[in-house]
Amino acid sequence: QITLKESGPTLVKPTQTLTLTCSVSGFSLSTSGVGVGWIRQAPRKALESLALIYWDDDKLYNPSLKSRLSIRKDNSKNQVVLTMTNMDPVDTGTYYCAHSMGGSPFDPWGQGTLVIVSS
């Protein structure tokens, strides 16, 4: 059974850097075709793709946020880490990580972690 679980701080201050960890189980991050993506949802807004990392370490970023994002994975720890710099209150929302295989849609997703940006 594939599972993903997000973890990280609930509260960050403006201008700080956010680091989120996605801990996965039931699959290997080095298996050919595997991808793990980060998606967020601000209150009353649509979900927004942030970044995606593939088994071969290929990475895709949302062009509008690319300068602030970095995604990496640790195969031995079964973790995918997302960092977002210069956090702003508009970055408040629920952050999800999700599994993809061979270009298939994200499935399953983690339950999400709430991030509040406030001074």
Pick from 68, 67, 74: nearest CA to 53: 74
Work out whether 70 is an interface residue with other proteins (CB under 8 A).
Answer: no
For other proteins, give the closer residue by CB, 29 or 61: 61
Q: Which of 2, 11, 47, 90 binds other proteins (CB under 8 A)?
A: 47
Work out whether 112 is an interface residue with other proteins (CB under 8 A).
Answer: yes
CA angle (88 as vertex; 8, 91 as ends), nearest 5: 60
The rounded distance, in Å, linking the Cα atoms of 111 and 61 is 22
Work out whether 33 is an interface residue with other proteins (CB under 8 A).
Answer: no
Can you give the binding site for other proteins, defined by CB under 8 A?
Answer: 37, 39, 45-49, 52, 60, 62-64, 96, 98, 104-112
